[in-house]
Structure formats: structure tokens, C-alpha cells
Amino acid sequence: MPVIPPHTQNYPYIKQDANGRDLQDSSGDMTFRGDYTSNNLIYKGFAKPGSAEGSLVWQIAKLAYDGSNNILSIKWPQDANGAASSDYAFSWTGRAGYTYS
């Protein structure tokens, strides 16, 4: 049996049809959390429904804006190796403490 890397176990479920083909829109069945400053979304987080906010199962991104409230960049938290990561391996409650790149 193949070994599934721990971080991929947290990815959203992708449903399949009767023939085993992925249903492309099914991975959108996720829990969302947002953290706002004024009217701008600063942090966005996604995880499987029912995930605890303190569990290391969240995909988190940090958004930066210009003076006209246009998005300038989307950055990802760094993993243990210092690389930006979009894995579902972070804690929503720890979002402000991560380094983003």
C-alpha cells in the first residue's frame, strides 16, 4: 500500500463519479475563514469541514493591497524548510505568527 504524505491527508475530499473520474467542483466543499482589516481580506484559510481552527490542517494565504485597495500579492506561509507552502498543514489560529513569502 502506498504511503500518503501527512500533509496531503488534509487536502479537501474530491468526489468521484461511478467511473472513478474526479468531479472537478467537489473540492470546493471546504470550510472558509477570513480575517479582515477595514474592508480588506488579509488572511484567507480553507480546510475540510469540521476542522478545528488550531489543527495543522489549514491552507492559509496572506493578501497585500495598494493604496487603492487593489490586491498586490498573495503570499503563503513558510514550511519547516523555509519554503512558501500552499499545503493544508497550518493552523488558522497561528496565522499571524507565520512568516509569509
Global confidence as pTM: 0.76
What domains does the chain contain, in order, with CATH numbers? 6-97 (2.40.128)
Evaluate if residue 71 carries a pLDDT over 60.
Answer: yes
pLDDT at 13: 54
58 residue type, one letter: W
Q: Return d(Cα 96, Cα 17) in angstroms, integer.
A: 39
Per-residue pLDDT tens digits for 1-59:
444 455 556 666 555 666 666 655 545 678 999 999 988 999 999 999 899 999 999 99
Better-scored residue on pLDDT, 80 or 28: 80
- Each as own residue / partner, the long-range contacts of residues 65-71 (CB below 8 Å, 24 or more positions apart, any chain) are 65/40, 69/39, 69/40
Better-scored residue on pLDDT, 11 or 64: 64
Written as nine digits, the cell of 90 is 497550518
